[in-house]
Structure 1
């Protein structure tokens, strides 16, 4: 009798006078009586098919029996550095002890170094020989003439050399400045980022306005130049350049109107009068329509900086509206005799680092028979625009864009699970070099979306301190001290500047993206560029809002943690380093597989210099940061010193932190979802390299410290998504659909509805 149910088992076994074996089994064996489960087990045994027990792996997930057999039968591979490019890096086995913050059901955590896709990229062995270096392609030419020799007046030239860091003109400045001083033709200025395009058009305009001796130009004279920029940060930077020039000639008054500030204060500035105005398109169009005191009748220069980005952000219609209002209100013909030194017509200048079709379309809107000036490949020519009947654009020269010759571009092919720990190792290695050299330096890390910036900022500033100004009771002076982020009256305010003891005790991390207030964005940039001997290493986590035109000093390293959406975005990102002849380093993270094709298809074109494009082993980065110090050699890391265990431990601490902090866990989940949606928005011509359908979501979730893929991946995450989903379907709700397909559809809607640039 059975102990569990008290029932007598009465199995009726067929009696045919023979022994039942696997060889004589019958498919029609019948078993009667007892429980169904017991009958089923006995029947399988009689047929020679015993039920195999399921083996459970990490996180209590059952392992398929057939897979288990394949793993047992799989022959061991010979240890060869040729068959396995990472065989030189020996790893120790890592296990997590059971505890309250362990895996599911107190199971072991899955390793970072298992089941990773191998890279197909051949990585050359490191050579001890010195690599070839190239002279800077965007440096000032010390053998060339001075600014005075280009036609700039002596007072302005002396101010540039004595009080600013402009000693010699760059190549693009040598071409543009003399041309803009004498021509009345529209100009298309094309040069690689960091080559000095901004000063190339500002100096001639400032010089022309200074030289009006007959009727000295001042605040009350009116507005003579407008400079349009795609971002507020770039507008602030150009405005600061004009303020510096204003010190040598205070009669010329610069002004600025951008989004994020009160229109009332901007109107008050415009009412007092400005001569050169820096603006973003949306805010300028608003003032042109609603601010009566803004007089544009004498406008002689209209400059569009970063023209490709203006088009990318969809400002063509706004720019067309601005130019029409300027044309309708122009009174230049009535004052030709009064301002004899100024152009007799409005000169339009379009500046861009690229010459794509969208830029040419923008040129069609504002340029009239323009002249092209370019230093790429030491050529210059004329850009020709067809009439409006065809709408086509032709050029007599094709100009490609390249990275600066002195910039070193490294590519890391990193498996998705190892991305986060490799980013930490990269920043630690940079901090160690800075500490050894004793010099200060800055780094920028680019992410694809603001949610990812916020999350990674929190990860790397755990246990960090914030800066707080306090008044010394004895001396009465104000000083800055470090306090815990919790020790603040502004609990609702999100901190954007914290120390990072996880990387290095002398490191500060800042975050910058379009969702922050304009005041915060301005303050962060000011603090980031400020020298601080106590913190020689400063790191900026940001989106592409900081990739265009910003001249941030002493940027030695640029890390593209998330791949750029276009190759032009890549050029602008890395252009924050290696500016005006300085050395620079850039690192791009790519996933194994399809993304590796991006190297040959795109990167080798914009990095044509031999040995400037280098593929680096991620194991080298990890072993350098996490390897145990060799006791016999100071400051050297032993590559065989359990670096993989330390790397896994570091990542495990992030996972445990998320399990203990529900707010951080929600941020991680939201950042992962936003990252996937941003990844889905790569241009169609680049889907061959960045295909969201082929991502291993589980492994990628691991890089966000998540032990499983968020269940709300395909759900809507914002009211904008709700609104646009209904609009797309005619106001009706969608039926149930596959979560992955829904995620892809919502990704397109989210990106179209919520721009990262809040101008």
Structure 2
């Protein structure tokens, strides 16, 4: 009889498991229900159920924060065993089963109490505190004064102290430079200052103006990094061209002409506008590889015959994205343009009145945080007599460093010493609510100023889904959402919503009050990407969260980022990619936190990545990750007494699931689920013992995407017996819908890869080696995924 009553009490939560016993009329069940009410009393039956492990609360005034009130259990609240009560039963779609977040989860072997957090170590990438200055390193006084007074940079960093003397004090000795430094160390200024100091004195030559052509080229792997370097360069070029205390009549302090102008060449901009600027003359150019090669091959007005500097920033990322052939084409194009310019000068067709120093050849600088095989191959091709410079104490004093060829054993992944690295092992079903609780905890722990957080996902579809989920799902709107499941929305209205979502920059979430949420990935329009980064970086007074793929992991200097959350661990790049991601925080000596959310099957990753990371100095303690229990994060994020956080977390999960049940949102959630599965399958073979799709419970993973069932294209449900009998089990997971979506993905991938400058074919499909935004080729099938 009790079992029958319990089934009635959970009607609003979806169909319960039917008892195997037969019999029991409707009138018997109704009598039993009325009897239970008489025993419990009207007041007790009207109260919300208490989670199993919660303490009985005494009546009294409740002291809740504003964030806690946003997740107070609504009229339908589920206990830790998936039961729920409500004043009015709500109909559920046929076949939908709502499972509990806190039952049937694998055991997580973590200490019951969080490990005590270690005090932050002394910053390893902060500006030097000794007597070092830019003037003492050989920097021109004009540049040094501008750095200190206008850009508020008083002291050089360790890598700047090592690089600047090696370049500035030996201008006549030709040696190319290989700069190896950890992220956030200030290497951008390390190569920009020598370029400006070398080009500035050319103003004394009468024929020097913008028409001289391009004298310096800086290559960056992504548009965002190129944009950032361009902004720093423009800030440097605004310096005074005469000392403040100089007299206008003093010939020794002649004013330099302002002819140094920078330009940005990236995909997504108008090529005709870029050609017009190149025709006027751009002495310094910042570009992505594909667009630079395109102008070298097709723009006759691109005058690079006198190019004196070539910088390749984030060389390891250039190789990861498959730009090796593009870089080779750029090097050949620059050499060919130089030879043509020399022949023209010999024939008297040059425009220089006093001649040009053709004996001086181009100087190349290669910047990389790691020394992978591809980077060393590039260095062997592009660098002549290279000098390796690292930000260590010995390098700061002695610039006679080993060459790149002798540096094979110096591979090192070193995060900033002051960075706090932590991880959470959360069951698959709780991943989504754990992320929300963590974001709420990070935002509310600092109230004096806005908090900035970067969250990394594995693919673009996952970024778009979570961005819209947090921005559009509203608490306590469950009834309207449930009723909307059966309604057919107007197609024009859906298209209008999709169009507005593509152009929208920021979202506001009811779960994260006072916080703006932005997104960044390679499939967004260039204007949207730039606006997202600009608003995320510049709005210092308001808390901001950036959802991004690995496109934001390299080189970007996002100011005041307090924490980096890796919701999905890197699928490629291993420990190097992890170090680059967490390097978006704890920059230039500031403190920062790095959080990684793992599944129970990924716990071995912690020891693996700790073994890959090395201390900056010999004898120091190696970097470690500190474990934090998911219960403590949920408790802090959702508040409440005892285990009340379970009911609040369940209510948040149900809100997301109701939102995902709507027609236009369901497709978005399923697409994100499938893209995440394909991305997960691209972990290299050396990591398969940790990351393998067979370790994932698909039903629990679907819960993390606000789905109540795994998509049929993965689970194989809903097929006829004839279809399932005629194919092997692995092929059951592939259907026409999934293949159709792969064709759409291939078209998107082709457009992105073309903009990157490299396009190859594999098995008849257009693919890009190492592209973050498209983890698999269009023809990749799930049979290979599950059986590899």
SS across alignment from 1:553: coil
Give the structure 1 partner of residue 388 of structure 2. 372
Distance 2:359 2:420 in 1: 43
Q: Is the contact between residue 503 and residue 528 of structure 2 (CA under 8 Å) also seen in structure 1?
A: no
Matches within 5 A, 1:483-562: 492=500, 494-531=502-539, 533=541, 536-562=542-568
Written as runs of structure 1 = structure 2, the 5 A alignment for 1:388-537 is: 394-395=406-407, 398-435=410-447, 438-462=448-472, 492=500, 494-531=502-539, 533=541, 536-537=542-543
Pair 665,490 (structure 1): closer, same or farther in 2 beyond 3 Å: closer
Match of 1:750, SS state, is coil
Residue 154 of structure 2 corresponds to which residue in structure 1? Answer: 167
Structure of greater relative contact order (alpha carbons < 8 Å, 6+ residues apart): 2
My pick for the range that moved more, 455-464 or 295-304, is 455-464
Aligned to 2:742: 718
What is the aligned partner in structure 2 of residue 676 from structure 1? Answer: 677
Aligned-pair CA distance for 1:580: 0.7
- The Cα shift of 1:684 comes to 1.8
1:139 corresponds to 2:109: no
Q: Distance in 1 between matches of 2:705 and 2:622?
A: 35
Of 201, 216, 234, which aligns to 1:211? 201
Report if aligned partners of 2:457, 2:463 keep a CA contact under 8 Å in 1: yes
Residue 320 of structure 1: aligned partner: 328
Please provide the CA RMSD for this pair. 3.4
Q: Distance in 2 between matches of 1:124 and 1:151?
A: 53
CA drift of 1:354 comes to: 0.9
User: Residue 224 in 1 paired to residue 205 in 2?
Assistant: no
Deviation at 1:410, TM superposition (A): 0.8
Change (3 A) 1:97 1:607: farther
Query: 1:117 touches 1:415 (CA, 8 Å); kept in 2?
Result: yes
Shift of 1:329: 2.0
**For structure 2, which runs of at least 5 residues remain unmatched after alignment?**
1-9, 21-51, 56-78, 242-257, 475-492, 616-620, 715-733, 750-760, 766-773, 782-788
Q: CA deviation at 1:513?
A: 0.9
Task: Give the C-alpha shift of residue 395 in structure 1.
Answer: 2.5
Q: Which residue of 2 aligns with 1:601?
A: 608
Tell me the SS of whatever aligns to 1:410: strand
Q: State how far apart, in whole Å, the 2-side matches of 1:107 and 1:260 are.
A: 44
The answer as to whether partners of 2:115 and 2:627 remain within 8 angstroms in 1 is: no
C-alpha change, 1:321 and 1:526, in structure 2 (3 Å) is same
TM-score (structure 1 length as normaliser): 0.75
Q: Contact (CA 8 Å) 1:103, 1:109: kept in 2 or not?
A: no
CA contact (8 A) 2:216 2:285 kept: yes
Q: Does 1:697 align with 2:725?
A: no
Paired residue secondary structure (1:589): strand
Do residues 196 (structure 1) and 202 (structure 2) align? no
Distance 1:125 1:489 in 2: 43
In the TM superposition, residue 368 of structure 1 has moved relative to its aligned partner by: 2.1
Separation in structure 2 between the aligned mates of residue 489 and residue 700 of structure 1, nearest angstrom: 27
CA drift of 1:281 comes to 0.7
Q: Deviation string for 1:466-511 (max 9, x for gaps)?
A: xxxxxxxxxxxxxxxxxxx99x999545244334342332100011
Deviation sequence 1:299-347 (CA, Å, 0-9, x none): 1111100001101111111111110111122258779996899982211
Deviates more, 1:90-99 or 1:369-378: 90-99
Q: Alignment partner of 1:400: what SS? A: coil
CA contact (8 A) 2:473 2:655 kept: no
Alignment of 1:647-686 (within 5 A): 647-659=649-661, 661-686=662-687
**Which of 361, 378, 381 is equivalent to 1:362?**
378
1:577-624 per-residue CA deviation (whole Å, 9 max, x = no partner) reads: 01111111110111112x111111113532654675211111100011
What residue in structure 2 maps to residue 25 of structure 1? none
CA distance in 2, matches of 1:125, 1:315: 44
State the shift of 1:123 in Å: 6.7
Q: Does 1:272 align with 2:288?
A: no
1:151 to 133, 138, 147: 138
Answer yes or no: is the 8 Å Cα contact 2:452–2:561 preserved in 1: yes
The 1:381–1:710 alpha-carbon spacing in structure 2 relative to 1, beyond 3 Å, is: farther
Contact kept in structure 2, 1:434 and 1:537, CA below 8 Å: no
CA 343–213 in structure 1, closer or farther in 2 if over 3 Å, else same: farther
What is the alpha-carbon distance in structure 2 between the residues aligned to residue 153 and residue 751 of structure 1? 56
Per-residue CA deviation, residues 184-241 of structure 1 (Å, 9 max, x unaligned), is 2111100000001111001111111112354164312221111111100000000111
Q: Which of 350-359 and 370-379 deviates more?
A: 370-379
Matches within 5 A, 1:60-209: 93-97=81-85, 105=94, 109-122=98-111, 125-127=114-116, 131-181=118-168, 182=170, 183-209=173-199
Alpha-carbon displacement from aligned partner over 1:612-660 (angstroms, at most 9, x marks no partner): 52111111000111221xxxxxxxxx3x15111111111011111222x
Which residue number in structure 1 is paired with residue 67 of structure 2? none
Report the equivalent of 1:646. 648
1:528-552 CA distances to partner (integer Å, 9 max, x unpaired)?
Answer: 112253xx21111111111111111
CA contact (8 A) 1:95 1:109 kept: no
What is the CA–CA distance in structure 2 between the aligned matches of 1:345 and 1:320, rounded to whole Å? Answer: 18
TM-score normalised by length of structure 2? 0.72
Tell me the number of residue pairs that the alignment of Structure 1 and Structure 2 aligns: 617
2:304 is the alignment partner of 1:296:
yes
8 Å Cα contact 2:505/2:531 also seen in 1: no
